[in-house]
Structure 1
Amino acid sequence: MTEKNAYAQSGVDVEAGYEVVERIKKHVARTERVGVMGALGGFGGMFDLTQLDVKEPVLISGTDGVGTKLMLAIKYDKHDTIGQDCVAMCVNDIIAAGAEPLYFLDYIATGKNEPAKLEQVVAGVAEGCVQAGCGLIGGETAEMPGMYGPDDYDLAGFAVGVAEKSQIIDGSKVAEGDVLLGLASSGIHSNGYSLVRRVFADYTGDEILPELEGKPLQAVLLEPTRIYVKAVLPLVKEGLVNGIAHITGGGFIENVPRMFADDLAAEIEEATIPVLPIFKALETYGQIKHEEMFEIFNMGIGLMLAVSPDKVARVKELVDEEVYELGRIIKKENQSVVIK
């Protein structure tokens, strides 16, 4: 028995791994940007910081996965958007600190290496990188039979961005009276899917629920997470934003207070939130308490900004979409988030 055959008999297909690398090269090429060095396949991804026009660079990094939304991608056999979710969860976090994403690395672990399927996953990662303006400079695919079932895979990523030291957004500038502005989400994004899957456990995904305005359920559930980098980065560069909250797991209640000091609170007018149909469906079909929805989901707002009142008009001018005025920053009395 040769060593190559021995490995194959253990469930690891080395040739399939080589095929994946060849398949993904064209997708990686789409993500080229200033600073990217080297070629795919090295032992480490390289990025040249000297190519950037940043006087006092501070590197800001973020890492995340997609959670159990992956289980729906596997269930529906649709893998071309889940990679964007992975990128979004990382780059939206670092833009919340004022960083421009520079590069991204992904990690895919699977029970059986299926090159065509993994190419779809990486194509989604590349699309996310293109939307975020960052290079896909490396990654890893690990075939681990016994750890994962033959149809299973997991996906995680790591992003690095750079901020001018003077432009870092850490919440220290948020003040009483700041206006809370929201940018719409594309859907559920990538949080709360353990509950989502329970609510819709008996559905095939082909159903068109009356609340979903003609879209099949699976299309709505797999709608990729929106990437906010290109909308928000100009605001950061111009010094228009005091605080940014990426609304992920924990919804409004957990994430909004992360962008301001403990003695402040966010007062939000519920009527101003553009609640998406899927959240109404989840609340109805899952019999979820209305107030609990704001503790789990983004409810239609994926990113929230704290902006000085005199800068609101300029923010709206620069952002090429509707910006929702949600409320304001107040002195904290009891709760950190007050939804009226």
Structure 2
Amino acid sequence: MSDRRTNLSEHEFGRREFLARAAIGGGVLALGSLPSSRGAARAESVSASGPEWLLQRRQRTPLTPAPRVIETRHIRLCYNPERYCGHPRQGVFRYFGNGEIIVGHNHAPCEYKKVMDARHGVGGYHSRAKLLLQRSLDGGQTWPEDQEVVVYDETISPEAKRAFLFQKDAPRDECDMFRRESVFFFGRTFLPERGKKEVCFALRSVDKGRTWEKTPTIIEHPDGPEVHVHKDCHPVARMPDRKTLLAAMSITATGAGVAIFASTDNGLTWRYRADAVKDISQMGRFTYAGLLLLPDGRLQCYALHISPIDPWKVDGAKDAICVCNSTDGGRTWSDPAPIVGKGGDCWKKLGDK
């Protein structure tokens, strides 16, 4: 590849936390260490079903002290002024230990002349993108080109996409997705006959993302393909029974939210289990879902609420990052509780007063 990669690191760093962010023109990884104690919010009961259901929610107090990030460094993974390198949340992100990290991002030609050049979805960069997986073997300090893998290529023809997606009676590999080396890629692709309604699919790898199966699993909501379903790169929850895998899927529609899907056959199939959170106030929707399995067996689902009403101003759970809890394997969930305070401070750009 012709892309220029620059290593900007100079100091030693801790590796307990890896925070990924995307920037126009470059994929950036921030590495640092955080204290291990975290506070978990729980929702208080709110009986209202209209806007009050959303607006009356508050953070649980007293608040846990803010974590202190130390020994942080920024390292450039991929950069080219004529490429879009971003949205790692739509790719693969995994730390295997001993300094080995994989990060996937959308990689596409980009002129940066108009807004849609760098927008995702139909009509934006996504139609020109490949999902490029990069690998570091030294804790993120370098990302050798000979370790790169293209997981999926959105630029193939509609005919090639259909042939890939809908392989009738195709044999499937046997994969143990509970092994540490096993990873999922949950992709999204578009077909002309579906318009803006993406097809959600999953691929599996048992060798840390070096190779991927050739037959995907299509994931659909039980209400049919008209319901938008997509999943970002947050890890699946590997349940203690070593049989059940759980994944949080975002459902794209006003009033929608996050659905939990389960697999008991190592990811060959995924079936809807329950809604983790929905916006019953109809003021917006919950999205950007992440699922976390705690050591005591509880599940936490994190999601961001997005509303077109007075946007980017947190009020209760509106426009807030929220958390829900489950104690029965994701079958039932608490109401959402915001983990950010009222106002627009959490959405300010760096340097804003």
Q: TM-score, normalised by structure 2?
A: 0.26
Q: TM-score, normalised by structure 1?
A: 0.27
Q: Which structure's residues are more often helix, by fraction?
A: 1
Q: Which structure's residues are more often strand, by fraction?
A: 2
